[in-house]
Structure 1
Amino acid sequence: MFRRLLAPLVVIALLAGCASTPPAAEVVAEDSPAIELVDLWRVTGAEGESADTWLRLDAGEFQLWRDCGMIQGSWRASNGLMLASVFGASGGCGTDTAPTADWLESVEGYVQTSDGFQLVDAAGSPVATLTIDGAPDPIPDAADFYAEAPEVTDETRAYFAQAKPLPGSLTPGSLEGQWAAEGVDASLGAGVDFAADGTWTGSDGCNGGSGRWAADASGGFLATSGVSTLMACEGALVPSWVAQAQLAGFDGDVLVLLDSDGVELGRLVTG
């Protein structure tokens, strides 16, 4: 399982830098290999999808094109890890029933192929194949550019900046279970539950959060998150920590979540 300390997948070999190292102030963060996923892909091999299915992956958001129209959602990816969550639909895909894409929401990783990518589940089994091939027809309910490949901008590159390694003072480990914000009154309920099925639910003490999560053996971490209320609260911003984190490790028995720069977001103890 990815979330149970899967060794990181080999995705893309990054090009070596210049022979001379520039001054520290001029060093630019490397792109994560995940930036190569930003494109408009034809989907094949996905359970329940027709031959005319495309997946448009832009920074932080996706559009899944079906015969009925477009399904929308959020996604995150880093070195080998990938998660996606559906949150809406347009055109004929938008009905009274909430749209689903179970195959896409089962994805936890990606592997580069000779002509695209293979998406895999927590066990590393293939879920779908992505290749460049054609494009969907625009629909009245969505802007025409959603039927085109997204542009890779400076903002896109910033979004996919390579996360730093887990600090040496922290140790990777299993995140499954219930965790409470360290140093916060437990009665406030600020904490998170990382479930074995790859979903998480949490609270800052007043506002709830939920989504999907995955972690690897090197301390890499990703989570998607949905809509949350914004009430003032005396707890701790645990759902925000989870949504922003790209690294997770242990300081003894304390779980530490960090952002892509290795900056500590918050600490959690067994709940």
Structure 2
Amino acid sequence: MSSTAQRAASGSPRRGRFAAFVLATVATCLTAGCATAGAAQAPTTAATAPTSTAATSDPIGLIGMWRVSDAAGEGPDTWLRLDAPEFSLWRDCGMIGGGWLAGERTFLAQTMSASDDCANGGFPTIAWLDETTSYRAADDGWQLLDAEGEPVASLAIDGAPDPIDTVADFFAEPPVIDDAVRAFFADAAPLPDTLAAAGADDLLGRWEPAGASYASDPHVVFLAAGEWTGSDGCNGQSGRWAVDGDGELLVISGASTLIGCDGAPAPGWVAGARRAAFDDEELVLLDREGAELGRLVRAGG
């Protein structure tokens, strides 16, 4: 993506191209049971900081405007706004946006856009956010942790960023927790007794639709680095993934082309899945309500 396409349009006060791009991209691309971005909903409850006595992690507690500290490469005035399902990272150069998901233990995020000078010099990266795989409560907020359980960043409620002329004003304000946010983080339906929950290691590798063969080669590949790729036979798609427990599948998916062909929507099954389980050798993907989306078999199996 070119820096021209990523930059917010100048001379567009309040709601620039970045704001429109983030909301449209997240609502379209994060298909793990989400509908409308929480920021677009009517507010009901202001986000508050979690307490240090929390016995378990609650992903809803991550909703908020957080000052970032102890993160490699970040300055003192870096804020991370976590709404459902998008994040906005404020830097001196502007803002970087993307999608995120969390379970009781697992956290993953994917950068999708940038504004102003943050879009110069190629697509921006947030190394510490890419490395984050889990989180835990701290005295004044949260710690984000890498795969080894080491902190990569600390989040605390401490002020707010100054508004940016090319970005909608609400991005500089704390998000709210409403019914849409609660629904976004609602537990997926439990697995039926006939299925066995899949673990992260069980999913690694290449998978193809069960019960049929296609010349167009629809497939998905789960990579150990927490990334996935796939094709319906004509349209490629990719994103990030994690398993949080009991087969709970967290998936972020990027945009895809819309070429029609004789294939199977295997990437769409992955993007919409909230649980992954096995029926003998078949990998079964189910949505939040427990409806079966599709079945896959290991390539060459």
Tell me, yes or no, whether TM beats 0.5.
yes
Q: Is this contact kept in 2: 1:184–1:236, CA < 8 A?
A: no
Structure-2 separation of matches of 1:191 and 1:12: 41
Provide Cα deviations, 1:183-214, integer angstroms capped at 9, x if missing partner. Answer: 23143211100011111100111111101111
Structure-2 separation of matches of 1:160 and 1:219: 16
Moved more, 229-238 or 192-201: 229-238
The answer to whether 1:236 aligns with 2:261 is: no
Q: Percent identity?
A: 53
The answer to whether 1:112 aligns with 2:137 is: yes
Q: Which of 123, 126, 148 lines up with 2:151 in the alignment?
A: 126
Structure-2 separation of matches of 1:252 and 1:161: 28
Provide Cα deviations, 1:64-98, integer angstroms capped at 9, x if missing partner. Answer: 00111100111112222211111111122121411
| Structure 1 gaps, min length 5 | 1-10, 15-31
Shift of 1:13: 5.0
Residues matched between the structures, number: 244
Structure-1 separation of matches of 2:212 and 2:70: 47
| Structure 2 gaps, min length 5 | 1-52
The answer to whether 1:45 aligns with 2:73 is: no
The answer to whether 1:187 aligns with 2:223 is: no
Show structure 1 runs of 4+ deviating over 6 A: none
> Cα–Cα, structure 1 residues 13 and 261, in superposed 2: closer, same or farther, change >3 Å?
farther
Structure-2 separation of matches of 1:259 and 1:112: 29
Q: Is this contact kept in 2: 1:177–1:195, CA < 8 A?
A: yes
Match for 1:77: what amino acid? A
Structure-1 separation of matches of 2:149 and 2:269: 27
Match for 1:48: what amino acid? G
Provide Cα deviations, 1:82-132, integer angstroms capped at 9, x if missing partner. Answer: 111111111221214111112111212221223211111223222211111
Moved more, 141-150 or 212-221: 212-221
Match for 2:126: what amino acid? A
Aligned-residue CA RMSD (Å): 1.9
Matched residue, 1:86: 111
Matched residue, 2:186: 161
Matched residue, 2:176: 151
Structure-1 separation of matches of 2:163 and 2:175: 14
Structure-2 separation of matches of 1:141 and 1:115: 31
- State the TM-score, normalized to the length of structure 1: 0.84
- State the TM-score, normalized to the length of structure 2: 0.76
Matched residue, 1:213: 241
> Cα–Cα, structure 1 residues 233 and 36, in superposed 2: closer, same or farther, change >3 Å?
farther
